Amino acid sequence: MFTHGNKNESQSKVDFMNQAFIQNPFPVYEHLRKEDPVHRFLLPSGHFAWLVTGYEDVSTILQDHQRFVTNPPYVQESHGSVPPHQEIISRNLLSVSPDDHRRLRRLIQKAFTPRMIERLRSRIYEISNELLDQVLAKGKREMNLIEDYAFPLPIIVICEMLGVPHKDQIQFREWSNIIMEGFNNPELNEQSDQVMRAFVEYLQTLIADRRQSLQEDLISDLIAVEEEGDVLSEQELYALVFVLIIAGHETTVNLIGNGMLALIENPAQKQLLLEQPELIGPAIEEILRYNGPAEVSNIRWATEDVEFGGKHIRKGEMLFVSFSSANRDELHFPDPDTFDITRKVNNHLAFGKGVHFCLGAPLARLEGEIAIHELLRRMPDIQFKEEPEPLKWRPSMIIRGLYEFPVRF
Ligand code: HEM
Q: Report DSSP letters for 270-282, one per residue.
A: HHHHHH-GGGHHH
Q: Is the CB of 162 under 6 A from ligand 1?
A: no
The pLDDT, as a whole number, for residue 302 is 95
Percent of the chain at pLDDT > 70 equals: 90
- How far does CA 80 lie from the centroid of its chain? 29
Rounded distance from Cα 247 to ligand 1 centre (Å): 6
Other C-beta atoms lying within 10 Å of the C-beta of residue 165: 9
Q: Is the CB of 222 under 6 A from ligand 1?
A: no
Q: Is the CB of 196 under 6 A from ligand 1?
A: no
The pLDDT, as a whole number, for residue 62 is 98
Q: Which pLDDT band, with edges at 50, 70 and 90, does 183 fall under?
A: low
Q: Which pLDDT band, with edges at 50, 70 and 90, does 84 fall under?
A: low
Rounded distance from Cα 360 to ligand 1 centre (Å): 6
197 pLDDT above the threshold of 80: yes
Angular region, 406: left φ>0, alpha ψ -120 to 50, beta rest = beta
Q: How far is residue 203's CA from residue 245's CA, in Å, rounded to a whole number?
A: 11
- Rg, the chain, Cα only: 21
Closest residue by Cα to residue 242 from 172, 347, 336? 172
Tell me the per-residue pLDDT of 299-345, one tens digit each, with 9 for 90 and over.
999 999 999 999 999 999 999 999 999 999 999 999 999 999 999 99
The pLDDT, as a whole number, for residue 275 is 98
Rounded distance from Cα 11 to ligand 1 centre (Å): 31
Q: Is the CB of 111 under 6 A from ligand 1?
A: no
Tell me the per-residue pLDDT of 5-62, one tens digit each, with 9 for 90 and over.
343 343 456 788 888 999 999 999 999 999 999 999 988 778 899 999 999 999 999 9
The mean per-residue pLDDT over the stretch 85-113 comes to 82
Q: What share of the chain is helix, strand, coil (3-state, %, to 5)?
A: 55, 10, 35
The pLDDT, as a whole number, for residue 11 is 40
Q: Burial of 82 by CB count in 10 Å (0-12 exposed, 13-18 middle, 19+ buried)?
A: middle
245 pLDDT above the threshold of 90: no
The pLDDT, as a whole number, for residue 75 is 46
Give helix then strand counts, H and E, for the chain: 19, 12
Classify domain 19-408 at the CATH superfamily level: Cytochrome P450 (1.10.630.10)
Q: How far is residue 113's CA from residue 363's CA, in Å, rounded to a whole number?
A: 10
Rounded distance from Cα 108 to ligand 1 centre (Å): 14
76 pLDDT above the threshold of 60: no
Closest residue by Cα to residue 175 from 159, 153, 157? 159
CB 173 within 8 A of CB 155: yes
Instruction: Report the sign of the C-alpha dihedral through residues 85, 88, 89, 95, in that order.
Output: positive
The pLDDT, as a whole number, for residue 40 is 95
89 pLDDT above the threshold of 80: no
Instruction: Report the sign of the C-alpha dihedral through residues 244, 95, 70, 50, in that order.
Output: positive
Other C-beta atoms lying within 10 Å of the C-beta of residue 242: 22
Q: How far is residue 108's CA from residue 403's CA, in Å, rounded to a whole number?
A: 32
Rounded distance from Cα 244 to ligand 1 centre (Å): 9
Tell me the per-residue pLDDT of 126-157, one tens digit each, with 9 for 90 and over.
999 999 999 999 999 999 999 999 999 998 89
**Nearest atom within ligand 1 for CA of residue 353:** 15
Q: What is the pTM for the complete model shown?
A: 0.91
Average pLDDT, the chain: 88
Spell out the alpha helix ranges (H) of 44-168: 55-63, 73-77, 84-89, 98-111, 114-118, 121-137, 145, 152-162
HSE value, Cβ hemisphere, 13 Å, CA-based, for 300:
30
The pLDDT, as a whole number, for residue 352 is 98
